[in-house]
Amino acid sequence: MLPYLLRRSRRKTISLEITPESTLLVRAPLHMPENAIRAFVEKHEDWAASRLPGVQARAAVWAQITPEMESTLRKAAKRDLFPRAAYWAAIMQVQPSSLRITGAQKRFGSCSSRGSLCFSWRLMLYPEAARDYVVVHELAHLVHLNHSPDFYALVQRYLPDYKKRQNLLRAAPDLPDFLQNKN
């Protein structure tokens, strides 16, 4: 069984996360029995093993990014993602209340209950198809603020190949050509 770090809290469900340091983190309810936690980890070992290389590769690329490179990526994200969001919002007939670029490391995008969309500048390390997927995914949350079958049906209506695009986000990112000389 894979080694893991256990964090108990007042939560109702158990979850797994692979941290940027490549540690398997298990979040569990305070009173969940240890044998139930071990069984959960064993059941999801294949998932964790399949995600670990991508997490390690992502961390290696992110470690190369200097503050100057981050600034360049933030500017590029505004130039790229805001028009992309406007384009898809018009097609999907939705309207976000605001758009922001963040430095989020654990998620590429988010949507608040008030309709505000945030996108991580780290998205700029991925291909256009992956960026479109994140934009459409977050815009779909303006209709369904969940990950229900109806939500994914809406995403699929606009991006029939959305699963392939999702996989692009699990692969190692590349430093864009415009950053290659900024070390």
Q: Which two tokens stand for residue 138?
A: 């977050």
Angle between helices 67-92 and 128-140 (to 10 degrees): 60
> In this structure, are residues 74 and 101 in contact, taking their beta carbons and an 8 Å threshold?
yes
Looking at residue 157, its pLDDT comes to 98
pTM: 0.84
> In this structure, are residues 76 and 124 in contact, taking their beta carbons and an 8 Å threshold?
yes
Determine the 3-state secondary structure of 29 from DSSP: strand
pLDDT at 178 over 80: no
53-71 pLDDT, tens digit per residue, is 888 888 888 889 999 999 9
> In this structure, are residues 13 and 30 in contact, taking their beta carbons and an 8 Å threshold?
no
Per domain, the residue ranges of the chain are 5-63, 67-179
pLDDT at 45 over 80: yes
The domain 67-179 having CATH identifier 3.40.710.10: the answer here is no
84-143 pLDDT, tens digit per residue, is 999 999 999 999 999 999 999 889 999 999 999 999 999 999 999 999 999 999 999 999
181: pLDDT confidence band, cut at 50, 70 and 90? low
182: pLDDT confidence band, cut at 50, 70 and 90? low
Kindly give, in sequence order, each residue whose CB lies less than 8 Å from that of residue 61, ignoring residues fewer than 6 positions away.
125, 172, 173, 174, 175
Looking at residue 103, its pLDDT comes to 95
